[in-house]
Amino acid sequence: MVPASRRSFLRLSMTQLPPPAPTALPTEIPDRATRTAPELVCPAGSLRALQMAVDAGADAVYLGLRGATNARNFAGLNFDDAQVRAGVEYAHAHGAKVLMALNTFAAADDVAPWLQAVDRAADLGADALIVADTAVLAHARRHHPELRLHLSVQASATTHAAIEFYRRHYGIQRAVLPRVLTLSQVAHVIRHTSVDIEVFGFGSLCVMVEGRCVLSSYATGSSPNNAGVCSPPSAVRWTERDGSVEARLNDVLIDRYGPSEPRGYPTLCKGRFLVEGQRDYALEEPTSLNTLDILPQLIDAGVKAVKIEGRQRSPAYVAEVTRVWRAAIDLAASRERYAPQADWTARLARWAEGQQHTLGAYDRPWR
């Protein structure tokens, strides 16, 4: 049982939405002439989502092959070879890049699917691979030296020393930072590495060290790090009882929804449990990271790319969130004064997990 006092830091800076948060005071941008817009990296769980992201202004899209080689291994999601080719063609025709996520850890007894996925990505024309496993990184560097390598958030590299290690040994050109660093820690990392840094700007959060989680392994018997999914569909059970709907992962009751309550995809960390007699979110409240408020500071820190989470979300989510972030990045990088617009906040709130948002670790006051 987790006492209420030890609940997730996510609550610290959380804002209930709607109504939209009041528009922040305009932030004066220092030396705006030298500000470079970071790349906007958007999720594509399907070819339709890819096309909508590109049309809405994504600079790059990231996608995965079907199967366990990527960390969104949901049925009906991801790309076969023909779809990757079509996606690459569409993105390149519109000036966007395609980043392929091969970001789960290879199975100890069969690494072949991960190495073959690297070869397929190269053959299919991906612009970069997003990788966490060192065996996969080594294979890519040795056999496809022309491919850019981005260190996945799954690698949990939070220091410049760790990132430099990956640069020296595997030639990575970009690292995606785990969502556990404060803004000043992000700036510190950037000052001490030549590797481009990408950060998460918007989307769902995970309270573990980026997927290294035994919560769902306990209930389902398979690890998110190898299988690419926290809640495999084969383990998800929905049961109607006395007018409410119960969600389970195998036999573990995760949540019970009233007749008109919105239902989230059942993830063990975001379940409601009885703690000290009170039924509530014991580990993590469903909420979305939203960094629109600190976008100028992220750019000034030297962030080279901003990632939108959500390959498991609908094409409509991808299109709307991409449009808002395109406008925000363009404004923050322009000579105009920047302030998150109420309209952006309201539009993002419609798609935020739990209709709430947070700055997460970026503004936590403790180390």
- Which 338-357 residues touch ligand SF4, going by CB under 6 A? none
Pick the closer one to ligand SF4 by CB: 178 or 224: 224
Instruction: Please report how close the Cβ of residue 329 comes to ligand SF4 at its closest, in angstroms.
Output: 27
- Tell how many helices (H) and how many strands (E) occur in the chain: 11, 16
Pick the closer one to ligand SF4 by CB: 178 or 211: 211
356, β-bridge pairs: 16
By CB under 6 A, the count of residues binding ligand SF4 is 12
Instruction: Please report how close the Cβ of residue 227 comes to ligand SF4 at its closest, in angstroms.
Output: 11
Among 211, 266, 296, 354, binds ligand SF4 (CB under 6 A): 211
Region from 29-37, 206-214, 324-332, 350-358 binding ligand SF4, contact rule CB under 6 A:
206-214
Among 38, 43, 224, 286, binds ligand SF4 (CB under 6 A): 224
305-308 and 236-241 strand pairing: unpaired
Question: Binding pattern to ligand SF4, positions 238-277, x when CB under 6 A?
Answer: -----------------------------xxx--------
d(CA 241, CA 27): 51
Among 21, 65, 213, 308, binds ligand SF4 (CB under 6 A): 213
Residue recorded with tokens 């958007």: 42
d(CA 216, CA 210): 13
Whether the CA torsion 120, 129, 133, 179 is positive or negative: it is negative
Quick check: 252 and 267 in contact, CB under 8 A? no
Instruction: Please report how close the Cβ of residue 268 comes to ligand SF4 at its closest, in angstroms.
Output: 5
Among 216, 223, 322, 358, binds ligand SF4 (CB under 6 A): 216
> Rule CB under 6 A: is residue 310 a binding residue for ligand SF4?
no
280, β-bridge pairs: 273
> Rule CB under 6 A: is residue 40 a binding residue for ligand SF4?
no
Pick the closer one to ligand SF4 by CB: 181 or 230: 230
Q: How far is CA 47 from each of CA 165, 309, 318, rounded to the nearest angstrom?
A: 35, 17, 12
- Residue of minimal Cβ distance to ligand SF4: 213
Pick the closer one to ligand SF4 by CB: 293 or 309: 309
What one-letter code names the amino acid at 74?
Answer: F
> Rule CB under 6 A: is residue 70 a binding residue for ligand SF4?
no
The angle, 0 to 180 degrees and rounded to 10, between the axes of the packed helices 81-93 and 47-56 is 10
> Rule CB under 6 A: is residue 208 a binding residue for ligand SF4?
yes
> Rule CB under 6 A: is residue 230 a binding residue for ligand SF4?
yes
Instruction: Please report how close the Cβ of residue 91 comes to ligand SF4 at its closest, in angstroms.
Output: 28
Pick the closer one to ligand SF4 by CB: 21 or 207: 207
Pick the closer one to ligand SF4 by CB: 83 or 267: 267
Pick the closer one to ligand SF4 by CB: 250 or 341: 250
d(CA 250, CA 220): 7
113, burial (CB in 10 Å: exposed 0-12, middle 13-18, buried 19+):
middle
Residue 242, helix vs strand vs coil: coil
End-to-end CA distance of the chain: 24
- Cβ neighbours of residue 100 closer than 8 Å, sequence gap 6 or more: 62, 63, 64, 65, 84, 121, 124, 126, 128, 129, 130
- Cβ neighbours of residue 83 closer than 8 Å, sequence gap 6 or more: 46, 47
Pick the closer one to ligand SF4 by CB: 283 or 299: 283
Pick the closer one to ligand SF4 by CB: 21 or 101: 101
Instruction: Please report how close the Cβ of residue 362 comes to ligand SF4 at its closest, in angstroms.
Output: 18
Q: Which residues bind ligand SF4 (CB under 6 A)?
A: 206-208, 211, 213, 215-216, 224, 230, 267-269
